[in-house]
Structure 1
């Protein structure tokens, strides 16, 4: 705490960007107790920033008396609005080299072996798929000598299971790795970015009350409270009022304010726009939520971009909307850039920043020149689209039907834009949480 206070007094940022040329870029050393030999060792703390992973705390302990050492990564950034789940089909040894950021709140599963590493049983780590397997093997082997003395039968079964885990690294058969993190701060690399990774499925989900309690977002007595909303419609009171509530900046964590307003979009519906401005670091962000219910049909909007004037079209992209540009073989899943009310140019800029500027896997020693060149070429194509030098089709596919693209010819049809209504599949209803919703028959006698 004294280190943080001293830096705050000097006016500097607590979390520094990784920069070896910075003279002040060095870890803080603290004398601490070694839990192996109970002599005094040294803990080194480094507060830094990683793109996407926000602020992190890297800690390393070493003991000069018994040579015991330990490393750990902790997320110092905010917990994301939604949890995230990665499902990876490991088909070759190259998949074992995918970089992984695993937060301590993440659960790791291998369904083929019925194996699970529960949340908060391991510290956060920056590793690879192979590293996760090695870490699991090391954890099981740790107490084997004690098990063999106490219960040889159990120890033999665990030895058999350890051999199964080790054989996974040979990738003789395809297997699945699932990383589910309610905090939303875990990541799995997509090596073919910005194209869609057929082997990797990314799903975002709403946390349960139990998960909020585990993350410290709610008190335990919230389970016993009645969360039923009042019967009156609060949206009516919001129509002519801008609501302001206090929050923290997602970038520097300084106190900031968020403005919220109910807006009627012509030829569409009501939406709730939330905008956050930070006076400390200048960070600005906006988010859009649908003010109505999920539509009965999904909506697929296809725009043929033929001129730079198309960049001024208003776009409402909900959190459930996926984006595709067939000419670039590009597809972006739902919730990747969140809900936004912007222009088509603004949406393309956000896509470029997400894929090129803020990609965590184009930095560091593991990055390849080929990958950087591929992503830079993608960014140049996005620039050409915004300049009107490249004609493409932009597809907004929203299974919830809550996305909108401005028709500049309204109320007449737009010759460059088509809107298709379709029936959602079972999988799409499952992603939206509609399959488990029961809205009829509550008062029927059983």
Structure 2
């Protein structure tokens, strides 16, 4: 950043008129204050137009005293009526040479790496896709020396991510670059312009209230008015950012208790609702997970080959419609037996062991027999061996509603030990889910007929 000297502003005009008769084509040079050493440096301003886009202001500052420099761009026009989202499939090294304009209000994402540059964290830039990747690498490497001394594990993970970013420049496989700008002033070059670019998709969208506030188009008071107009939508946004508490009664002792609820976005999956009830009187605890979305069009069958104890740490979402099977143990647990859970694979197996062994009424009292107790105890020992990876088994999660999930630790690459199969539900499965009798069409016609 540089500060234009007050004397210069008073003495002459900062900007030159854009004219076809302007022969020199030189940028305007302005004496500016260096924010690094507080000596006077110089800022060059160039007003230019990008073909098939719009006018921009390119500024470049340099200081002869401390050799500090920086560059940035600003839109020379106004904030657009709608935001813009550019989605580019980078398929070759030639695509890395495409020019891009990234405004400071834009969010940049590479979904294959779960990489994101949030808005207003970097200045606007005029660069290429390769330059964008180089700048991201430089930003991550900036604090690496200090991390290696204080947080070596974190430094190693960041170093591994840096290697993935650098590998993108080889374009061994295509990847996606998304630039989403609510101000509508970002741009990705189309080298085939004015013809259509099959690799580039450009879409316009309506800004949200929060995006308008970030851009300074609305005041904080407008948000309160909007909350009154659209309470349901804003309540949903609030739920995503905080834990909601409801008063209830404990299912064990019926004492007053509280239920906590929160919306959570699971990476590479969807949004889920997590609910937990704690009782301070009897210390009873329950937790339940429900999908935040609709029933999927296809069912999902996830099969994991357990080969290492580290598999037990995989995140797992089991909906209430999901059944669990371990073929090697001839074991199958029907849907709804342990309810919906968001836990780890070890947590699920522990719950299964508790359900079959610890909390089984046939393990104690008059209902127990020696043979039954021994058989169930042996099953509990086998579950322990599965959790320590001493047994070679597969675990199968079959959810006809398609709302269950098991973490892929190799994401975004395929997991060699896990398969995810999508299938069409049978009539019986649709009947169990209540979909056969569900009607979503024709209500308006029936209502108008009944009114007449």
* TM-score, length basis structure 2: 0.46
Question: Which structure is higher in RCO with an 8 Å CA cutoff and minimum separation 6?
Answer: 1
Between Structure 1 and Structure 2, the one with more helix by share is 2
